[in-house]
Amino acid sequence: MPVLDPQLPPPAVPAVEPTPGRRASRAFPVCANPRCSSGWLQLWRRRRVPVVEGGWLCSPACTRAHVEGLLRREQSEVYPVSTHHHRVPIGLVLLTQGWITHEHLKEALEAQRSGANMRLGEWLVANRGLSEARLTQALGLQWSCPVFSLERHGGGLPATIVPRVLAETFGFVPLRLTATGILYLAFEDRIDHSLTLAVERMTGLRVESGLLSTSEFRRAQQDFTQGRFARSRMIEAGSIELLAEAFARHIEKRQPVQARVVRLHDLFWLRLWHQDGEPSTTSAQNPGPEDIIGSVAGFA
Ligand SMILES: [Zn+2]
C-alpha cells in the first residue's frame, strides 16, 4: 500500500541565464523568454509567477514562446534506446545458469515456432517448472539490472510521485522513495532506460530501475493504483505549436511557482507545483503537483 507521504517540493532547477544586456535587479526581474519584447513599463506589474524551469515569465505571450521552446527541446532530445539485439537471448541465459535443460529449451523454442502465444520464459514457467524467481533473476542478468523484491524495495511511496496514466501506459510501477532520495522504479520484463531518465529529470530524484517477478509486479501495480494520485489530465494536440498553446494557457491560468516539461517517448509530461519550500504534512493544505500529459498527432 503506498504510504500517503507529504508531498515533495519542486526539484531544484538551475536559474535561467538572463539574456545578455538585460540585467536582473530586485525591482526588475528578467523574463525567461529570450525574445521577450516587453518594455520596462510592463514589468511594473505585480507578477511574480508563473515560473517555468526556474525562469520567470512576464506575460502570456512569453509563457507561450518559452513553453514552445521547451517542447522543441524535448522533441529533438535523443534518449538512450534500449536495444534488444545486443542482449543474450533469455533461453541461453537460463541454460548457461543451469536453470533449464537443453531439452526444455528445444521444447520451448518449438512451442514458440508452432505459435504459442507466450514469451519463452513464461512458457517455461507454465510448462516446465521453471520458477518465477529464477526467470526474473535471468532477466536481471540479461538486462544487467537489479532484481527487486516487494519486501526489500516496497512501501513508503508518495502516490503523487508519477501520474497513474504514465505508469499504466509504459508498464512500470514506482515502488519506494528512500530517505536518501532514491526512487525505485519496477518493470516486469525489461528496463526502459529513457523512461527512467525522464522520471529522474522531472522529479530531481535518483531513480534506480529494476525488475520484479510477474506476480510481485502485479501486486505492486494493484497497490499503486489504490493510492492517491496527482491530479492529471490528457491533452491531444494537432501540432507542437498547438500543444505549446494549450500548456501555456494552463500555466497562465494556474500560475505555478514552478513547472517543468519532459518527454516520455511520444508523450509530453508537464508538471506544475503550486507551493514553494517545505512540504506541508496535510494534503488539504498542499494538494501536491499537478500533471498534464500531452500528445501530438503524428509524433512518435
Ligand atoms: Zn517576457
pLDDT value of residue 228: 67
C-alpha cell at 113: 515456432
Average pLDDT, rounded, for the chain: 84
201 alpha carbon – ligand 1 mean position (Å): 25
Q: Which residues contact 274 (CB under 8 A, 6 or more apart)?
A: 254, 256, 257, 287, 289, 290
Q: Which grid cell sits at 67?
A: 513553453
Ligand 1 centroid from CA 251, angstroms: 14
- Could you tell me the distance, in angstroms and rounded to a whole number, from the CA of residue 271 to the centre of ligand 1? 21
**pLDDT-based confidence at residue 257 (cuts at 50, 70, 90):** very high
- Specify the length of the chain in residues: 300
Distance from Cα 75 to the centre of ligand 1, integer Å: 23
DSSP lists the bridge partners of residue 236 as: 295
Q: 65: burial class by Cβ within 10 Å (0-12, 13-18, 19+)? A: buried
- For residue 239, the CA-to-ligand 1 centroid distance in Å is 23
Average pLDDT estimate for 157-173: 87
How far apart, in whole angstroms, are the C-alpha atoms of residue 286 and residue 289?
9
- What kind of architecture, by CATH, is found in domain 150-225? 2-Layer Sandwich (3.30)
The dihedral through the CA atoms of 4, 261, 183, 86 has a sign that is positive
Report CA(199)–ligand 1 centroid distance (Å): 29
Mean pLDDT on 55-61: 91
Whether the pTM exceeds 0.85: the reply is no
> What is the three-class DSSP state of 164?
helix
How far is Cα 57 from Cα 69, in angstroms, rounded to an integer? 13
For the chain, list the strands marked E by DSSP.
Answer: 51-52, 55-56, 172-177, 182-187, 206-211, 231-237, 258-264, 267-273, 290-296
Neighbours of 298 (CB within 10 A): 8
Mean pLDDT of 39-64: 80
Cα(259) to centroid(ligand 1), Å: 16
Strands 267-273 and 290-296: antiparallel
Cell readout for 175 is: 515502488
Query: What are the pLDDT digits (tens) for 135-149?
Result: 999 999 998 899 999
Name the phi and psi angles at 207, rounded to 5.
Answer: -105, 130
Spell out the residues 6+ positions from residue 8 whose beta carbon is closer than 8 angstroms to its own: 158, 160, 161, 177, 203, 279, 289
